Copies of this chain bind each other. A is one copy, B any other.
Amino acid sequence: MLKVQASIAVLEYKPNRVAQRLRSTSKKTKLLGLVIPDIQNPFFVDVVRGVEDYAYQNNFAVMIGNFGQDEKKEKLYLDILQSENIDGLIVAPIHGKDKGVENLVKKNIPVVCIDRGLTDIDVDVVKVDNEQGAFNAIDHLLSLGHKRIAFISGNFKIPTYIERLNGYKKAFVKHGVPYNENLVFARDTDYKSGFEIANKILELDDRPTAIFSGNNLLTLGALEAIHAKSIKIPEEISIIGFDDMPWSISLNPPLSAVRQPGFNMGRKAAEMLYDRILNPNSKKEKVILETELMIRKSTIRIE
């Protein structure tokens, strides 16, 4: 063994990553940024795990920022990560015209968007076929005879929810059922919104026979509202949610849901980011993954 190598071993020398990152020009410093809207949402936890899985295998460290749909907070994390000299960034932009993310792309910092793309600029993105996923859910409900189907959505500034709304509408068209815009409600993407919107829906004069909720947390909030009013699922109201969870089967009742492959999305995004770092000028890639409709016990046929 060489003398230098031997000393490295003896002294347990570990290079200082800060100094490395400061000096290094070749992108070998190995730090990824990951900026997500809501770490309480199990879907994004899966994404984080996917990213982290790839990062770990490839000796990257990951710096995570959770912005909770707060635009200021997102901006701060973007600034921080940039001034941390990250090699690249995986981000779910707060909305389709996110200037903060746009700027990073323009500065030629490797960026891949996850769950949602950017409308005004060409960027790598890995997402799910939201329109098809929502279509499948509503198609299922309509096939079961439901006509009044409420949609608890997140904010329509987020492209994901626009796409899900499109799928929702398309299914109505297919079944020749008129679409009623009074039945779509959009607010935040958290538990509380789901709870509150569901309460409003349940108090409607002509109560819908089914609810389609736009994400994990909205579903869970809606469930609490329904149970609080002792309304029976699925006998009195059907519900199907976007996003599946490992424990969906243990909910009351076992929840029908549109499954997104969160872990794979995260992993794929990390892979793509790695490619982008190595190859900054290659064509931007759009990866659209499939959803899967999980039919369990929260949806039922009505006459």
Contacts and interface: CB of A to CB of B under 8 A. Distances in A.
A191 B22 CA distance: 41
A16 B252 CA distance: 51
A243 to B, nearest CB: 13
Interface stretch (A77-85, A113-121, A130-138, A200-208): A77-85
A73 B57 CA distance: 10
A18, A22, A61, A85, most chain B CB atoms within 10 A: A18
Interface in A202-223: 220, 223
Contacts of A40: 42, 45, 49
A230 to B, nearest CB: 12
Interface of A: 14-19, 21-22, 39-40, 42, 45, 48-49, 52, 56, 61-66, 73, 76-77, 79-80, 82-85, 191, 220, 223-224, 227, 246-247, 249-254
Contacts of A63: 61-64
Copy count, this protein chain: 2
Please classify the interface of chain A as helix (H, G, I), strand (E, B), loop, or mixed, using the class held by over half of its residues. Answer: helix
B39 A66 contact: no
Given A22-B19, A250-B220, A250-B224, A61 B45 contact: no
A48 B39 contact: yes
Contacts of A21: 18
Nearest to A77: B61
A252 B63 CA distance: 37
A31 to B, nearest CB: 8
A14 B224 contact: no
Contact of A61 (B14, B84, B224, B227): B84
A285 to B, nearest CB: 27
B79 A14 contact: yes
